[in-house]
Structure formats: structure tokens, C-alpha cells
């Protein structure tokens, strides 16, 4: 099932000078651990964990730099909301799916049998490892271009997420979808309210039955509930996998986000 890395280079829009970096970025520890013992420990454990560690920080830096300079009138709370969304596991999972990253993973037999090519954690970590590989191979500018090309939505979508773009009543859309499909009505719950008085951040969770749920942040309860409803609408329309979603929390795994471990 594993595919030629050259195909992935075409999707990335980047050609590696040192393709071994790309190969390593796609190698899960389950595969590296099954490799024959080598004289050098670095060769024996050539998995993507160290690259994923670097890629996580590179992604955060690029995203922060991009939104800071692009949205000059946004508050700190709005910038944090966008940053949390763009580095979240849910968003990165969608990016990995668009790149068809699962096809290129090198997995051990056990992980292959367990469906590792579709696991959120493996796909998110692999994308961050690939970003680190591009950073090491082509420098910061190549990494920035990759993030902008494959991982940053258009500005209108980001402005809407921050509560400053054109209004769209996702709550009403979700009500319509669930009614047409004869599903349970959406249930909303305020999860938390954080931040200083001038930059409050609200988190709201919406559930549709047992299968679909999402939590999202916003600068008001209304914006947060609309952001959460938007995620569930995307799940119902097949744009995101069904599950628990989260439009913030970079430490958790987002819009189906929980636990970004290696």
C-alpha cells in the first residue's frame, strides 16, 4: 500500500535535495523498531519522532508570524484563537487527509494491522515531521511556503472563525441538517470561559446524538457555538471524520482532537 515519496513531493509542491529526510519523516517508530539492528543507533531508530518534535515548534512559529502580520487589527484573544485552530490536531488531520499522507507512511506490521494509516495521531505527527524535514532541507522560507500552501485556509474563513468575518448562521444550518436527516437535535453546553476581561475566550460544545460532537472557542458564546456547529456541519457533510472535535487546544487533538502523543 505504501507509495513512492515522489508522489508526495508533488502534493507538497516541494522537491527534496536530501530525500532521506522525507523518508525518515514518514517512518513510524513501529517500522524503525522492526528494522535489522544497525551499527549506528541513529540508523537503527530512524523514525520520525525527533522530526515531529521540531515540526511542532516550526509550525507554531510560522503560524504565529503569519497571522500576526496578516491580521493587524486583531486582538490577542482573536490571534490566539486562530493560532490554536491552525495548529490543532483536527485541522492538521484535515491537511494530512488532503495530502493523502497515510498512503506514504512506513509502518510496522502491528501498526499496519491496527489501521495506523488512518490514525489521527500518526497522521498529525507525520505532517509535523514532514514540515520539519522541509525546514531542514530547504530552510525557513521553504517551510513557510509549505504551510501557507497546504495548511492555511483563506482569510475570509479565518476572519469568520475569529468572529470578524461575514456572518453565517451555522447553528441554523446544523438544525436544518439534523432535521432533514431525522437526527437528534443539537445540544449546546458552555464548557469554559477564560482570559482577561478585555479578551475573554468562551468554549462551547455541541453534540448531535452520540456520534457527532465538537468543542470550539470564540470571543463570545455565540461565536463559539457557531464555530462548534460549523465543525459538526462539516462532519455531517463528510468534510471531517465523525467524532469529538475541538477548534483550539493545540495540546489536545482537535476537531476529533484528543491526545497528540507519539
Task: Look at the domain 167-246 and name its fold.
Answer: Double Stranded RNA Binding Domain (3.30.160)
Tell me where in the chain the CATH 3.30.160.20 domain(s) lie. 167-246
Specify the 3-state DSSP secondary structure of 181: coil
pLDDT in tens, 225-259: 988 999 999 899 888 887 656 655 433 333 333 33
- Say if residue 1's pLDDT is above 70: no
Integer angstrom CA distances of residue 190 from 156, 201, 217: 26, 11, 10
Looking at the DSSP bridge assignments, the partners of residue 170 are none
**pLDDT at residue 36, rounded to an integer:** 55
- pTM of the predicted protein model: 0.64
Specify the 3-state DSSP secondary structure of 88: coil
pLDDT in tens, 119-142: 989 999 999 999 999 999 999 999
Q: Give the residue numbers marked as catalytic.
A: 56, 128
Secondary structure percentages of the chain, helix, strand, coil, to 5:
55, 10, 35
Specify the 3-state DSSP secondary structure of 209: coil
Give the residue-averaged pLDDT of 34-50.
61
Alpha carbon distance 218, 40 (integer Å)? 49
Tell me where in the chain the CATH 1.10.1520.10 domain(s) lie. 5-157
Domain 5-157 has CATH 1.10.1520.10: yes
pLDDT in tens, 165-205: 555 678 888 998 899 899 999 999 999 998 877 778 899 99
Alpha carbon distance 197, 143 (integer Å)? 36
Question: Which is it for the CA torsion 104, 107, 113, 119, positive or negative?
Answer: negative
Under a CB-based contact definition with an 8 Å cutoff, are residues 219 and 248 in contact? no
C-alpha cell at 51: 522530526
Amino acid at each position: 500500500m505504501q507509495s513512492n515519496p515522489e508522489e508526495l513531493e508533488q502534493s507538497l509542491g516541494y522537491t527534496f535535495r536530501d530525500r532521506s529526510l522525507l523518508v525518515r519523516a514518514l517512518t513510524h517508530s513501529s517500522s524503525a523498531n522492526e528494522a535489522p539492528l544497525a551499527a549506528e543507533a541513529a540508523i537503527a531508530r530512524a523514525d520520525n519522532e525527533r522530526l515531529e518534535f521540531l515540526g511542532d515548534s516550526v509550525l507554531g512559529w510560522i503560524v504565529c508570524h503569519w497571522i500576526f502580520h496578516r491580521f493587524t487589527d486583531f486582538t490577542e484573544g482573536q490571534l490566539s484563537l486562530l493560532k490554536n485552530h491552525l495548529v490543532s490536531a483536527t485541522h492538521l488531520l484535515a491537511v494530512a487527509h488532503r495530502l493523502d499522507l497515510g498512503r506514504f507512511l512506513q509502518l510496522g506490521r502491528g501498526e499496519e494491522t491496527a489501521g495506523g494509516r488512518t490514525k489521527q495521531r500518526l497522521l498529525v505527527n507525520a505532517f509535523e515531521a514532514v514540515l520539519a524535514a522541509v525546514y531542514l532541507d530547504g530552510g525557513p522560507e521553504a517551510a513557510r511556503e509549505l504551510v501557507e500552501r497546504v495548511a492555511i485556509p483563506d482569510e475570509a474563513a479565518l476572519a469568520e472563525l475569529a468572529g470578524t468575518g461575514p456572518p453565517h448562521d451555522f447553528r441554523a444550518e446544523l438544525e436544518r441538517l439534523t432535521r432533514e436527516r431525522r437526527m437528534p437535535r443539537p445540544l449546546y453546553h458552555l464548557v469554559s470561559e477564560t482570559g482577561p476581561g478585555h479578551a475573554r475566550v468562551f468554549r462551547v460544545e455541541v453534540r448531535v446524538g452520540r456520534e457527532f460532537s465538537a468543542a470550539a472557542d470564540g470571543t463570545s458564546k455565540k461565536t463559539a457555538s457557531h464555530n462548534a456547529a460549523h465543525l459538526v456541519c462539516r462532519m455531517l457533510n463528510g468534510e471531517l471524520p465523525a467524532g469529538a472535535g475541538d477548534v483550539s487546544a493545540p495540546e489536545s487533538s482537535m476537531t476529533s482532537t484528543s491526545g497528540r502523543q507519539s
